[in-house]
């Protein structure tokens, strides 16, 4: 660098103390390393604190032995009735409805039309109301139902001359021995 006459160069830092690019890069890497270490410490400290808090909550939520309740016979019987009432529809839902319906639609010599089917959940009694063309068709249908494995104690409860049709309206009850 050339100096102009009457000008002088003022340099307050000795040339050996000036920053070089390598020194600047090392300083930047050191600061970056320091920031990463601080973040890792902060993150680890947060995890440690969360684990300690979870341990305290787990200790508070630890199940304790519950004292046995002394129930009277009346209370026990009421609970048994309530449990039986809840279990009844559950048992009914678990029964083989497809099997029952296929047995009720059993083929006889023909001439039988089913009007309604009802099932009593307490006693598993199936009530079938239908119309038969004649007495023989009604008796054949009752015999076919009695031969089915899922139906027992097939009884012809009622029969009468149908007012709507020229046939016999009948009611058959059978015990449903459902296979689940």
Tens-place pLDDT, residues 24-59: 788 889 999 999 999 989 888 888 888 888 877 676
Residue listed under structure tokens 């009277």: 72
Contact between 126 and 114 (Cβ < 8 Å): no
Q: Are residues 167 and 101 in the same domain?
A: yes
Distance, in Å, from the CA atom of 54 to the CA atom of 47, rounded to the nearest integer, reads: 10
99 lies in the same domain as 46: no
Q: Write the pLDDT tens digit of every residue in 89-118.
A: 787 777 777 788 888 887 766 788 888 988
Q: Quick check: is 72 in a domain?
A: no
CATH number, domain containing residue 116: 3.30.1360.100
Residues 161 and 113 in one domain: yes
Q: Tokens standing for 45?
A: 């400290």
**CA gap 114, 102 in Å, rounded:** 13
Same domain assignment for residues 95 and 164: yes
CA distance linking residue 67 with residue 22, whole number of Å: 75
Task: Tell me, yes or no, whether 96 and 153 share the same domain.
Answer: yes
Query: Is 75 among the domain residues?
Result: no
Asked whether residue 46 falls in the same domain as residue 97, the answer is no
Same-domain pairing of 48 and 98: no
pLDDT of residue 163: 74
Query: Based on the domain organization, do 44 and 97 belong to the same domain?
Result: no
Number of domains present in the structure of the chain: 2
Cα gap 156→28, rounded to integer Å: 100
**Which residue range(s) make up the domain with 144?**
91-176
The verdict on 152 and 98 lying in the same domain is yes
Q: For residues 88-123, b (16+ Cβ closer than 10 Å) or e, as one string?
A: eeeebeebeeebbeebbeeebeebbeeeeeeeeeee
Same domain, 172 and 95: yes
95 in the same domain as 56: no
Does 164 have pLDDT greater than 90? no
Cα–Cα distance, 114 to 168 (Å, whole number):
12
What's the whole-number mean pLDDT along residues 135-151? Answer: 88
The tokens of 166 are what?
């020229």
Structure tokens at 161: 């001359």
- Whether residues 155 and 95 fall in one domain: yes
Q: Is 81 within a domain?
A: no
């Amino acid at each position: 660098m050339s100096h102009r006459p009457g000008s002088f160069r003022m340099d307050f830092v000795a040339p050996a103390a000036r920053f070089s690019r390598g020194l600047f890069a090392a300083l930047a890497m050191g600061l970056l390393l320091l920031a990463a270490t601080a973040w890792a410490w902060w993150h680890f400290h947060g995890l440690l604190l969360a684990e300690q808090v979870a341990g305290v909550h787990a200790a508070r939520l630890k199940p304790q032995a519950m004292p046995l309740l002394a129930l009277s016979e009346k209370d026990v019987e009421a609970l048994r009735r309530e449990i039986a009432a809840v279990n009844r529809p559950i048992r009914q839902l678990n029964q083989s409805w497809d099997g029952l319906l296929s047995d009720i639609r059993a083929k006889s010599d023909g001439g039988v039309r089913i009007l309604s089917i009802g099932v009593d959940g307490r006693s598993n009694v199936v009530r079938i109301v239908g119309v038969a063309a004649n007495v023989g068709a009604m008796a054949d249908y009752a015999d076919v139902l009695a031969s089915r494995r899922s139906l027992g104690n097939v009884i012809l409860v009622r029969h009468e001359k149908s007012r709507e049709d020229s046939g016999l309206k009948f009611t058959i009850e059978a015990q449903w021995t459902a296979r689940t």
